[in-house]
Amino acid sequence: MPLSAVPLHAGHASGTVLHLDTPLSFWGGTDHHGTIIDAHHPQRGQSVTGRVLVMRAGRGSSSSSYVLAEQLRQQCGPAAIVLAERDAIVVLGAIVARELYGSDMPVALVTAEELAELPTGLAVTVDCSTDHGSVTLPD
């Protein structure tokens, strides 16, 4: 059953969910391999590479856009990002990656209740290729 989503950045991707307990800053919160290195983050040591990253929102700073774009260029960034709050910095990183590197990582917006339905380990598909996005869960 698909969850309705607002597409914040176009793209289509599938992957396994990494549900973050707290917001993440790509700048200083992840390394150049896509591993969460923030010493205070509950998911420290986990990799975002190829995962559908599920989090309430990003945590800034503005340099996070650059770091996310570079991770996508180096193919060590998330396959998709699903948020419960609009985040211009995350979306900007996806836009820069598309414009400079041809990478189309979808960014989708769902409700906080729907975000809670996306636990770590769940295989999902994020489709932001139309005006009405979706996050499809397994049957």
What is the average pLDDT score of the chain? 95
| pTM of the complete model | 0.96
Scanning 1-135, the segments in alpha helix (DSSP H) are: 26-29, 64-73, 88-101, 112-115
Q: Is 129 a catalytic residue?
A: no
Distance between CA atoms of 104 and 96, rounded to whole angstroms?
10
- Give the gyration radius of the chain's Cα atoms: 13
Scanning 26-137, the segments in alpha helix (DSSP H) are: 26-29, 64-73, 88-101, 112-115
Identify the pLDDT of residue 100: 95
Identify the pLDDT of residue 63: 87
pLDDT band at 9 (very low <50, low <70, confident <90, very high): very high
Q: Which of 25, 61, 63, 129 is labelled catalytic?
A: 61
Burial class (CB in 10 A: 0-12, 13-18, 19+), 34: buried
pLDDT band at 74 (very low <50, low <70, confident <90, very high): very high
Select from 3.30.1370.60, 3.60.21.10, 3.40.50.970, 3.50.30.10 the CATH code of 2-136.
Answer: 3.50.30.10
Strands (E) in the chain, as ranges, are 2-9, 12-19, 52-55, 80-83, 107-109, 123-127, 133-136
Phi/psi class of residue 99: alpha, beta or left (left: φ > 0; alpha: ψ in -120 to 50)?
A: alpha
139 has pLDDT over 80? no
Tokens of 21: 């307990």
Domain positions in the chain = 2-136
